[in-house]
Amino acid sequence: MPKPTSDIPILEDRKAQVHTKGAAPFKLACEKHSVAGAVSQRACVFCGSRVVLYPIADALHLIHGPVGCAAYTWDIRGAASSGPQLHRMSFSTDLREKDVIYGGENKCEAALVELIGRYQPKAAFVYATCIVGLIGDDLDAVCRRAGERTGVDVIPVHSEGFAGSKKDGYSAACRAIDALVGTSPEPKPGLGAPPSINILGDFNIAGETWVIRDYYERMGIDVIATITGDGRVDDIRRAHHAQLNVVQCSGSMKGLARLMKEKYDIPFTHVSYFGLEDMSRALYEVADHFNDPDMKARTAALVRDEIGAVMPELRKYRDALAGKRAAVYTGGAFKAFSLVRSLRTLGVKTVIAGSQTGSPQDYQKLEALCDEGAVLLDDTNPLELAKFIDQTGADLLIGGVKERPIAYKLGVAFCDHNHERKECLAGYAGMVNFAREVHHSVCSPVWRLTPRGCRTAAPDASPPVRPLRRAAVRRPAPRPALRTTPLTIGAKEVAV
Ligand code: SF4
């Protein structure tokens, strides 16, 4: 007879990366390589770079590697664009046995020249995959030659899949973006220019960057660049003109914010746009930074109006969801903080919380946020998730595309909060969408028909909630293109 899921043993090498709140002392190992054979939910370095750079809509993205790497990350984000759609095309050099033996540099250069001629992008990013790292193609030299032949900036992204974790891919993407920042010929705005920011780390999933940008503009702030959601190469070139970098997401854009602080002395602040508390805190923090009384008053009015508009709908969902339990597993831990708070707003208790790339500080904060008995997991795997979902009686799993089948196999509700989703979950309108998604999944009668539901469920007495209006996201008009001079990236000379 098969063992119950809750009896699945944890691998010896993984035990330090699992902690139950209340079991003192708090110590959770993290920032380690994944344990071989543990079937980590983490993505590779290349995937990390690809998801960060993908939303730059007027750039060409060429994946130098086997076609499988391109297929794995094709249209990987639900990142919308208000103009060009070039980012949604997936180009690959399709490396094969012959290229592995003789090298893939010529093929890559020929592909770049052909694609740039055909699509006229503002810049091109070329991603190194595992095999490029193994055969030793000189990507810097290839990009330099292609740039000289076409007059377009061709930027290498050193994202060999095996060379770390998804977090290292974020760093490689930040270095690639940094090659563009500061290359605009436009002069810096003088004294008297309006307060300005860059939005970093929002990827315009289902139009979220538009929602956030609209809030800042209503506060009287000029948004110079959105990096990378609905991103444009020319905006990134002049991003060094901003007075503040507002960084969402714990891992992906911190590196770029630090580089811009070092090079251009632009301060940065960390925010989250998920949930009423964190969304409001983000706006107030930015208003406090500029310390303008009028802006502070506009911000307070905006927050009051937006919360007032969504609370009646949220209360209905809260009544239906009160007492439910959730498991949260995210890429970065920063999003997990917001999710724990948002679930609390809905009356849902978080019983499992974890991330792929959290730091020791992140997990300390997560432990403080969660209730007694919550299980914290770093770089977990499907068997551990299944075990703890069973053990804690979680009604809901919030994660991404790789966690979805785990939930459905267990007969547990699921909410996609990862970059593949097509639903706007940021901002005040996004909180209503989130509540609706959670409600519709958790309160679906289908779970009563699963083996788990048959074992445990009394008929769900949750009061029905009338279908509510989907919070709309407005697509802005295309922005006029800026005129810029081409840049030559100074790649280092390497002996071939
Ligand atoms: S870069 Fe390597 S690990 Fe990543 S998808 Fe390609 S082959 Fe797989």
Instruction: Report pLDDT digits (tens) over 149-206.
Output: 999 999 999 999 999 888 899 999 999 999 999 999 999 888 788 999 999 999 999 9
The pLDDT, as a whole number, for residue 491 is: 32
Distances (CA, A) of 132 to 62, 108, 240, 350: 13, 11, 32, 42
pLDDT at residue 465 greater than cutoff 60: no
Residue 451 CB partners (closer than 8 Å, separation 6+): 411
pLDDT digits (tens, 9 = 90+) for 197-253: 999 999 999 999 999 999 999 999 999 999 999 999 999 999 999 999 999 976 789
Q: Give me the numbers of helices (H) and strands (E) for the chain, helices first please.
A: 18, 14
Q: Residue 489's pLDDT is what? A: 34
- Res 396: pLDDT: 97
Looking at CATH, the fold of the domain delimited by 196-305 is given as: Rossmann fold (3.40.50)
The pLDDT of residue 466 is above 90 = no
Q: Is the CB of 133 under 6 A from ligand 1?
A: no
Distances (CA, A) of 421 to 125, 208, 293, 434, 449: 24, 11, 38, 12, 26
Domain spans of the chain, in order of start: 45-178, 196-305, 312-456
Distance 387 CA to ligand 1 centre (A): 28
| CA 129 to centroid of ligand 1, rounded, Å | 6
Tell me, yes or no, if the two domains 196-305 and 312-456 fold the same way.
yes
DSSP string, 227-262: ESTTB-HHHHHTGGG-SEEEEESSSTTHHHHHHHHH
129 lines ligand 1 (CB under 6 A): yes
Atom of ligand 1 nearest to the CA of 130: 2
Does 1 score more than 60 pLDDT? Answer: no
In terms of CATH architecture, what is 45-178? 3-Layer(aba) Sandwich (3.40)
What pLDDT was estimated at residue 472?
60
Q: Does domain 312-456 have CATH number 3.30.43.10?
A: no
| Closest residue by CA, ligand 1 atom 3 | 161
Ligand 1 centroid, distance to 76 Cα (angstroms): 14
Ligand 1 proximity of 65 Cβ (cutoff 6 Å): yes
Is the pLDDT confidence value at 32 over 50? yes
Q: Strands (DSSP E) along 13-110, which ranges?
A: 18-20, 59-64, 91-92
Separation between Cα atoms, residue 228 and residue 200, nearest integer Å: 7
Mutate to test the pocket of ligand 1, among 40, 44, 64, 126 (most ligand atoms within 8 A of CB): 44
Q: What's the mean pLDDT in 9-37?
A: 89
Q: Rounded to whole angstroms, how far apart are CA atoms 365 and 255?
A: 21
- 72 touches ligand 1 (CB under 6 Å): yes
Q: Walk across the sheet containing 153-157 and list its strands.
A: 91-92, 59-64, 123-128, 153-157
User: Which residue CA neighbors atom 6 of ligand 1 most closely?
Assistant: 69
